[in-house]
Amino acid sequence: MEESARNTLIRAGVTDDRIETHYVPGAWELPLCVSWLLDRGGLDGVVALGCVIRGETPHFEYVSLGATTGLESLAREFGIPVGFGLLTTDSADQARARAGGAKGNKGEEAALAVLEMCELATSIR
């Protein structure tokens, strides 16, 4: 998903030196990392990518909801597009299908959403 998101941004004219990649231990940590980046400033948008696969306990719901609401809240708080590329699946096969397999690539989709929102912000502002 990362490679697809990066390639999508580059095809749209974003230069490689304007693209940063940061890795977090898990989906739960995505909002905090995005918060640090947005606090620092200088970004037009963020593409957040990750995957949570359902297990046998309610942990899936807590992590998915926390990451989802955290990222949504940051986008509104900072007024900066945050592309939502967090897969929430029942199996690794479903995740692979959405990360470049039969169901497309959510990395590309999240990057496209950020690009579209940046254009929209420019036209509105």
Would you tell me the crossing angle of helices 30-40 and 59-78 to the nearest 10 degrees? Answer: 10
Would you tell me the crossing angle of helices 106-124 and 2-11 to the nearest 10 degrees? Answer: 40
pLDDT of residue 2: 97
Domain range summary for the chain, segments of one domain joined by +:
2-124
DSSP string covering 41-68, please? ---S-EEEEEEEE--SSTHHHHHHHHHH
Q: To the nearest 10°, report the CA torsion of 47, 52, 58, 61.
A: 30
Provide the 8-state DSSP code for 29: G
Q: How far apart are CA 58 and CA 17, in angstroms?
A: 40
pLDDT of residue 113: 98
Mean pLDDT per 10-residue run, the chain (125 residues)?
Answer: 98 96 97 98 97 94 97 98 97 96 95 98 94
Residues classed as catalytic? 59
For the domain spanning 2-124, the CATH number is 3.40.50.960
